């Protein structure tokens, strides 16, 4: 059994993973985010009751750039006190088990490939769209993070006059059209034609993003997650319309574009961060 932690800017989820399922889970709202000591203590207090299980390791996904080897996180999104945190050392000292730290979207992609809707595939890109736009890459069933945990930042690639993230995240609704994605979703669900049109345009921008993903990584499957992915029914048509002119028609026919269905998939992916060599060692024991 391993503990997976999904750390966000507003809440933290932690759970015990056993055979791809969460058998015990704890969730808290994050308070006093300007205090490093307070936020770290909240994280520790969340994990403590889960340690009563026979836990082999702790994996944690964080919305930031991560020094994966040292387990240091930098400039964590929406937690201003987390500028540089030696998270691995702190948690290992506290709980005396191996700790593995990675980017939260990487954990999402790994979770989908190991336990989720993409578990039939070995080459997967997970794309999350919400406040921002992120992606994680799994190649041959193993997470690929790049030399500096920066692989997969498709959202920062230039697109139109800005970048993909500007047009394929909540920013498209708020900054461009003065409405939140939640408001647009509710309006579209009520039959508002203007809101439905906004989602179609959003789908076009997301489709352009997915074309970039396919050109760069040529995955077997792409999994869509994040809060905006819940409005799939409203942007699906625009997304596929944009994909029609992809240069390699056979690749377009074979790639599977899937929707994430498990709210705990990033948590499960974090629990799966334990390296293969440690898994083999545990099996020998």
Mean pLDDT of the chain: 94
Q: What is the mean pLDDT of residues 73-90?
A: 96
- Confidence grade of residue 284 (pLDDT, cut at 50, 70, 90): very low
Quote the pLDDT of residue 283.
Answer: 44
Domain pair 2-103 / 117-259, same fold: yes
Contact 267, 15 (CB under 8 A): yes
Which DSSP string corresponds to 92-152? HHHH-S-EEEEEHHHHHHHHHHHTSTTTT-SSEEEEEESSSEEEEEEETTEEE--TTS-TT
How far is the C-alpha of 102 from the C-alpha of 225, rounded, in Å? 18
The model's pLDDT over 162-215, given as tens digits with 9 standing for 90+, comes to 999 999 999 999 999 999 999 999 999 999 999 999 999 999 999 999 999 999
| CATH number assigned to the domain covering 117-259 | 3.30.420.40
Contact 86, 97 (CB under 8 A): no
- Confidence grade of residue 281 (pLDDT, cut at 50, 70, 90): very low
Quote the pLDDT of residue 13.
Answer: 96
The model's pLDDT over 22-72, given as tens digits with 9 standing for 90+, comes to 999 999 999 999 999 999 999 999 999 999 999 999 999 999 999 999 999
Q: Is the pLDDT of residue 278 over 80?
A: no
Quote the pLDDT of residue 195.
Answer: 97
The model's pLDDT over 116-129, given as tens digits with 9 standing for 90+, comes to 999 999 999 999 99
**Residues across the chain:** 285
Q: Is the pLDDT of residue 83 over 70?
A: yes
Q: Which CATH architecture has domain 2-103?
A: 2-Layer Sandwich (3.30)
CB neighbour list of residue 195: distance below 8 Å, 6 or more residues apart: 179, 184, 185, 187, 188, 234
Q: What is the mean pLDDT of residues 107-112?
A: 97
- Confidence grade of residue 279 (pLDDT, cut at 50, 70, 90): low
Domain map of the chain by residue range? 2-103, 117-259
73 is written with which tokens? 């996180």
Q: What is the mean pLDDT of residues 245-264?
A: 96
């Amino acid at each position: 059994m391993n503990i997976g932690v999904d750390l966000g800017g507003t809440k933290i989820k932690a759970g015990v993973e056993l055979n791809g399922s969460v058998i015990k889970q704890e969730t808290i709202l994050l308070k006093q985010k300007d205090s490093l000591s307070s936020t770290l203590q909240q994280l520790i207090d969340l994990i403590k009751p889960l340690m009563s299980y026979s836990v082999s390791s702790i994996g944690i996904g964080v919305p930031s750039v991560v020094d994966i080897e040292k387990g240091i996180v930098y400039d964590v999104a929406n937690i201003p006190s987390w500028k540089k945190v030696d998270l691995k050392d702190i948690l290992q000292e506290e709980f005396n088990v191996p700790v593995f730290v990675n980017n939260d979207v990487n954990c999402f992609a790994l979770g989908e490939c190991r336990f989720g809707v993409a578990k039939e595939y070995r080459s997967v890109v997970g794309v999350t769209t919400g406040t921002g736009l992120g992606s994680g890459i799994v190649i041959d069933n193993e997470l690929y993070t790049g030399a500096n945990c920066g692989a997969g930042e498709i959202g920062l690639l230039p697109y139109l006059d800005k970048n993909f993230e500007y047009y394929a995240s909540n920013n498209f609704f708020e900054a461009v059209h003065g409405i939140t994605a939640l408001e647009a979703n509710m309006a579209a669900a009520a039959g508002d034609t203007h809101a439905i049109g906004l989602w179609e345009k959003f789908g076009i921008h997301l489709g352009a993003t997915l074309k970039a993903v396919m050109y760069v990584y040529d995955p077997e499957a792409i999994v869509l997650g994040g809060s905006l992915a819940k409005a799939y029914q409203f942007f699906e048509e625009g997304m596929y319309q944009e994909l029609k002119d992809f240069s390699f028609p056979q690749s377009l026919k074979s790639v599977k574009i899937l929707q994430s269905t498990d709210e705990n998939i990033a948590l499960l992916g974090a629990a799966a961060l334990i390296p293969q060599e440690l898994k083999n060692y545990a099996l020998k024991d």
